[in-house]
Amino acid sequence: MGLEISNALREADISPFIIRTFNKFSKVNITRANEAAIAEEQYTHTKAAENARKNRQSNSQRYVQKSGVIYAEKARQIIA
């Protein structure tokens, strides 16, 4: 789209300064749009990884007896 507008500006006898300024402006905006798309994609991947990590961690929150003997009564209290 920027190229089409740039060509139209050349055909309309617009000053070279304005054409150069527009070309710089359009290049910057195209670059920013590409960077935004990449950032959005990376954000999506990051959120997916965070959700997967959260699911893994929440599914494995079990009580682990560190030392000694665990009695049935204590186990029932932990479960309840």
Q: Per-residue pLDDT tens for 15-69?
A: 888 888 888 988 899 999 999 999 999 999 999 999 988 888 776 656 666 777 7
Residues 6+ apart with CB under 8 A from 9: 18, 19, 22
Taking the CA atoms of 26, 30, 33 and 35 in sequence, report the sign of the dihedral they define: negative
Among residues 73, 80, 72, 75, the alpha carbon closest in space to that of 63 is found at 75
Q: How big is the chain, counted in residues?
A: 80
Average confidence (pLDDT) over 4-24: 82
What CA–CA distance (Å, rounded) separates 44 from 50? 10
